[in-house]
Structure 1
């Protein structure tokens, strides 16, 4: 088994009634991909995904997108008996990615992916809506950490709003200016400004990672119980990769 998931075997799918309702996978992406890693990741993708990466590579970009697309497949294969290259995906009306292959159990598995310079984050869950978002905070913003009016707060609110719109599956159809977060009894609550209605039945999690990233999670459940996992991608180079 690959060192990509060191110390972690196959996992049960997290469910609304389970001990953990969502699993969060974090992979620091601080170094350029080596040629062999690029080839291995490309081999996992479908034709459309590869063409997308080729277009980005033509402009000197694409590593982060490639890592995100490849890890999405590898992570999902930790839960169900499906080879990483066999997953197929579609999109809803507003662009939320969904699984389209396999039986009803396979298609019921849900995920949300985000990537930003230095980090890929993937959330896996089932039986509810949810979204994850992360943003890298440039060094200029870090001296202001802790100030209520600082860029720190901007990144916290921005990632929370991104996570919510992803989770609701509405994308930019839900304007950010309509979302207002408040802390009530140490819990984050979301209000739709136009209707002054609170979004009930959702829980929100936001934190700042040591890697200088703001990370936010939104799940359509009153109390989210999260499991955290780290993907050691850089350490995997000397080991056998999972079969495609």
Structure 2
């Protein structure tokens, strides 16, 4: 994998839960944004401080159950915890394409194409998680981890076995940066893809629920929400930060109404 360009040394992205853990655990393979990926290679994932609602977790887990079922995988194991204000692990960003390119890309599984719900789709492989996620503050956009944080984190990584590992084929095998917006335009058509025309009722419902969860999340406040004691999230639990920290240095989402976080 080629090195990142620009001033990114150990790039990190702060994301809301449950999207952050789903990405690090290899369930989520597409990170959706309203802007193209500025890096290639390792991207560290940090979970923001806002505790997700039970309905949000349920909607996203239902969504991934349905899109994996499209490819015959029916036994997904979701994270036991959705920790907040923690560095969780990392993924490899191998490229970025537009949604209209992704949904027509026949070389990748249909379930992956169904994840494309935003203007720009960051293509993620090789998830790794920290054995013990540790507390830190996030920032806006893609930013560099402090050196001491990176040195501690890189020693605590362990590979994750994805339910359906995906290797995104490069348009130009000699160029590791060839997966960029417009690189797949020649294979895209104006006709609806099979993933949009042949959806089951349960899949359509799950997609609608996930979109609604993301839209509702993006309209919420971007300030830290203290954890309410005695209000567990069904069988999942949330780590409580040691001290409430302001999260005003990054937005609640990248764009109101977008699907991924």
Whether TM-score is above 0.5 comes out as no
More strand by share: 1
TM-score, reference length from structure 1:
0.26
More helix by share: 1
TM-score, reference length from structure 2:
0.25
